[in-house]
Structure 1
Amino acid sequence: MNTHMTETKKPVRVWVDGCFDMMHYGHANALRQAKAMGDVLVVGVHSDAEITKNKGPPVMREEERYAAVAACKWADQVVPNAPYNTTVEILREYNIDFCVHGDDITTMADGTDCYQAVKDAGLYRECKRTQGVSTTELVGRMLLMTRNHHKRRMSAGASSLSSFNSEDLGSFSSGARRTTVSHFLPTSKRIVQFSEGREPSETDKVVYVDGTFDLFHVGHIEFLKRAKELGDFLVVGVHDDQTVNAIKGANHPLMNLHERALSVLACRYVDEVIIGAPYSVTEDVLNKEYNVQVVAHGNTPSEPELDGSDPYELAKQRGLYVEIENPNSTITTRGIIDRIIENRFVYEERQRRKTAKAALEAEQEAQEKEKKVSV
């Protein structure tokens, strides 16, 4: 066999585009599936202006959305200001073999299919849409809140509604209990799909951080990036829903434990996640699974344990505790919620438009299926 005749296989370049507003595990799962279809994943992200024109104002600003997509471990390249209507020309410009989208219809403001041109050109493939989550659904969870409600902290053992007054209950109506209810059904398969499966080597410095990581955003990403720079292997503890609820208040967290864990696992700086980690850093956290050499936390004050103790007391005693400078520009989970609450009427109108549009798209999809069956 002549080794000189061996050809180098051209990498398959795959395109995915979207808004990626409030980047969640559903977005990450789409990117994971698309990356599995090829070798290089190029992700086009729409501008604020394009999104506003076609579906209403985004929650996250375009720079925040570009950064969130870039931090996803399955994205190889991000294309800012990608056209809302996916064209054959944009695929050719980036030397793309085909584009991938979920198995739901996406339309322009005038109702036309955003992917019709690439479908006609034979450059379109589908992946399975992740059920139970969407940006629209997350915005809906936040619209059922009031800002005063978020300022209250629950007392230990309080029920999820005990700190409401009658005004709050009037604001929430029947939606109060739905704000933390997710339609997501966690499976071991999904967690395995998101996991790297890499173990630290004997020489790797293991870093541990923990938190809620609710509505995973660029502030979390920047924190995790800085934490990873402190060592070689980053383990992230994600607190369970009951703990977060007791520490932070009646309507936290907005996303359940497994939703939050998957968002963290999708981040390129994270090597492993402890699902349902204790609020305080314990002996088990430090030594049972990994030999943790650094415990990091942001330089903002952390909420104490329910008994008033410092959750990082043991790490500080062992000389393992390091504070990470929090950049002033980063958004917070509270900041995202405030954006929704402060622009409540704008987003309520967006929700109405999205609901009507979704109904129309579902009707179009049903008609297309009927046509296929009758052919």
Structure 2
Amino acid sequence: MMKNGHHVSSAPASADCSPEKRRRTVRVWCDGCYDMVHYGHSNQLRQAKAMGDYLIVGVHTDEEISKHKGPPVFTQAERYKMVRAIKWVDEIVEGAPYVTTLETLDKYCCDFCVHGDDITLTVDGKDTYDEVKKSGRYRECKRTQGVSTTDLVGRMLLMTKAHHSNMGRSDYQQHTDNFGRGPKGHSPWTGVSQFLQTSQKIIQFASGKEPQPGDTIIYVAGAFDLFHIGHVDFLDAVSQLSEKPYVIVGLHFDQEVNRYKGKNYPIMNIHERTLSVLACRYVSEVVIGAPYAVTKDLLDHFKVDLVCHGKTEVFPDRDGSDPYAVPRKMGILRTVDSGNSLTTDVIVQRIIKNRLLFEARNQKKEAKEMAVIQAMKRREEDKAKERAQAVL
């Protein structure tokens, strides 16, 4: 079955590990917590897939994450489903070990593993990729600047409507100090930096595929803020309405989202939400800054066959009118029940409820990272001294 230009296998490819298969296909391994999956995770997996032909992603259990990092925001079942929905992923391994070993790579016939240019540490401060690095079966990809789970948690707890454009303000900086800065300094891997969108990034994430004859063009619209498993289940359900779906997602601008959602929404700005949605295998195209009302012009322009909305509340337009009046009158509006009641509001409540736990988790993580950085710095200084003495 083809979805967004990627083949979705019904049988795990790791079942066949013949030498012939290994010669034909470069198999790549990635692993992680993938908690609060965001476009930074997706970009890592995109880069990993580009290094080979077949990407297997190992996802850790709740128990393993709690042991080494602290409590995850999402359950393992939710995290498994989120990773499966990323279009560059060919297969996932549930309950992958927290420490990546040669045994794991061999078990799944992977040539090497890929990780970002940050560091992942065990509960006792050891590099989880140490063994595969020493064996030469490790590749590195660039970490996506401007986003981290730490940062997203901070945004949810900062009650200002324009948090995504006020990162330099003192109240925001004070808040990030609690989430991305430990008592012994600042780790470059757990801090907060501003995301800068580029056209190249959009091109890298977009499928680039036009609708084909026989495709059913389906239009959905919304904020799709903090792109989560509720969104994934909805888009999956929408894509199953046709044998050949071409799903277009209309994303509302930040000001529009704030108008009907209020509070500190959206958590992610329009550029971040664009990449998050484009990474989903059920999505074919994204309209950036779609009009709130689904107009006749929009439907004609994209040759839309079907307009879908979930079971969530539909807020009226600025003039009090129904934003779905046109497709409703045309008889092409469909209400889709995804069977998932998770919303962005529910996620925010999870974070607020466990605020102290998440603060402690992030400070603990940063303290371990700073210890490693200091050790690396001391090693470099020692090597420099040895080189200087050798010259003398």
TM-score class normalised by the smaller sequence: 0.7 to 0.9
The answer for the alignment partner of 1:207 in structure 2 is 218
Contact 1:118–1:124 (8 Å) recurs in 2? yes
The answer for the alignment partner of 2:70 in structure 1 is 56
Amino acid of the structure 2 residue aligned with 1:259: E
The answer for the alignment partner of 2:357 in structure 1 is 346
User: Alpha carbons of 1:178 and 1:17: their partners in 2 closer, same or farther (altered >3 Å)?
Assistant: same
User: Alpha carbons of 1:351 and 1:178: their partners in 2 closer, same or farther (altered >3 Å)?
Assistant: closer
State TM-score, norm by structure 1.
0.86
User: Alpha carbons of 1:368 and 1:322: their partners in 2 closer, same or farther (altered >3 Å)?
Assistant: farther
The answer for the alignment partner of 2:316 in structure 1 is 304
Give matches, 1:43-192, under 5 Å.
Answer: 43-145=57-159, 174-175=171-172, 183-192=194-203
| 1:291 maps to 2:303 | yes
Amino acid of the structure 2 residue aligned with 1:17: D
The answer for the alignment partner of 1:196 in structure 2 is 207
Which of 246, 251, 255 is the equivalent residue of 1:238?
Answer: 251
- The whole-number CA distance in structure 1 between the counterparts of 2:335 and 2:345 is 21
> By how many angstroms is 1:309 displaced?
1.2
- The whole-number CA distance in structure 2 between the counterparts of 1:368 and 1:268 is 44
User: Alpha carbons of 1:312 and 1:363: their partners in 2 closer, same or farther (altered >3 Å)?
Assistant: farther
Structure 2 residue matching 1:109: 3-state secondary structure: coil
Aligned length: 344
Structure 1 residue matching 2:241: 3-state secondary structure: coil
Structure 1 residue matching 2:276: 3-state secondary structure: helix
| 1:315 maps to 2:327 | yes
Amino acid of the structure 1 residue aligned with 2:357: V
Structure 2 residue matching 1:225: 3-state secondary structure: helix
**Percent identical:** 54
Gaps of 5+ in 2: 1-19, 164-168, 177-191, 388-392
State TM-score, norm by structure 2.
0.82
> By how many angstroms is 1:78 displaced?
0.5
Contact 1:106–1:361 (8 Å) recurs in 2? no
Contact 1:13–1:40 (8 Å) recurs in 2? yes
- The whole-number CA distance in structure 2 between the counterparts of 1:25 and 1:368 is 34
Contact 1:298–1:325 (8 Å) recurs in 2? yes
Which of 207, 211, 216 is the equivalent residue of 2:227?
Answer: 216
Structure 2 residue matching 1:114: 3-state secondary structure: coil
Q: Which moved more, 1:15-24 or 1:276-285?
A: 276-285
Structure 2 residue matching 1:91: 3-state secondary structure: helix
User: Alpha carbons of 1:348 and 1:62: their partners in 2 closer, same or farther (altered >3 Å)?
Assistant: same
> By how many angstroms is 1:369 displaced?
6.4
Contact 2:40–2:144 (8 Å) recurs in 1? yes
- The whole-number CA distance in structure 2 between the counterparts of 1:240 and 1:186 is 15
Contact 2:216–2:305 (8 Å) recurs in 1? yes
Amino acid of the structure 1 residue aligned with 2:92: V
- The whole-number CA distance in structure 1 between the counterparts of 2:73 and 2:210 is 37
> By how many angstroms is 1:226 displaced?
1.1
User: Alpha carbons of 1:366 and 1:220: their partners in 2 closer, same or farther (altered >3 Å)?
Assistant: farther
Alignment deviations for residues 40-96 of structure 1 (CA, whole Å, 9 cap, x no partner): 100000111111111110001000000000000000010011111111111111011
The answer for the alignment partner of 1:164 in structure 2 is none
| 1:31 maps to 2:45 | yes
Give matches, 1:249-264, under 5 Å.
Answer: 249-264=262-277
The answer for the alignment partner of 2:239 in structure 1 is 228
> By how many angstroms is 1:182 displaced?
7.0
Which of 272, 278, 283 is the equivalent residue of 1:265?
Answer: 278
Structure 1 residue matching 2:71: 3-state secondary structure: coil
- The whole-number CA distance in structure 1 between the counterparts of 2:384 and 2:209 is 46
Gaps of 5+ in 1: 1-6, 150-158, 162-171
User: Alpha carbons of 1:292 and 1:112: their partners in 2 closer, same or farther (altered >3 Å)?
Assistant: same
Contact 2:57–2:92 (8 Å) recurs in 1? yes
Alignment deviations for residues 89-147 of structure 1 (CA, whole Å, 9 cap, x no partner): 111110110000001111111111100001111110101111111111111112324xx
Alignment deviations for residues 152-204 of structure 1 (CA, whole Å, 9 cap, x no partner): xxxxxxx869xxxxxxxxxx98239989x971100000000000100001321
Contact 2:28–2:55 (8 Å) recurs in 1? yes
Over aligned residues, Cα RMSD in angstroms? 2.5
Amino acid of the structure 1 residue aligned with 2:100: T
| 1:332 maps to 2:329 | no
Structure 2 residue matching 1:277: 3-state secondary structure: coil
Contact 1:143–1:348 (8 Å) recurs in 2? no
Contact 2:60–2:97 (8 Å) recurs in 1? yes
- The whole-number CA distance in structure 2 between the counterparts of 1:35 and 1:227 is 26
Q: Which moved more, 1:296-305 or 1:75-84?
A: 296-305
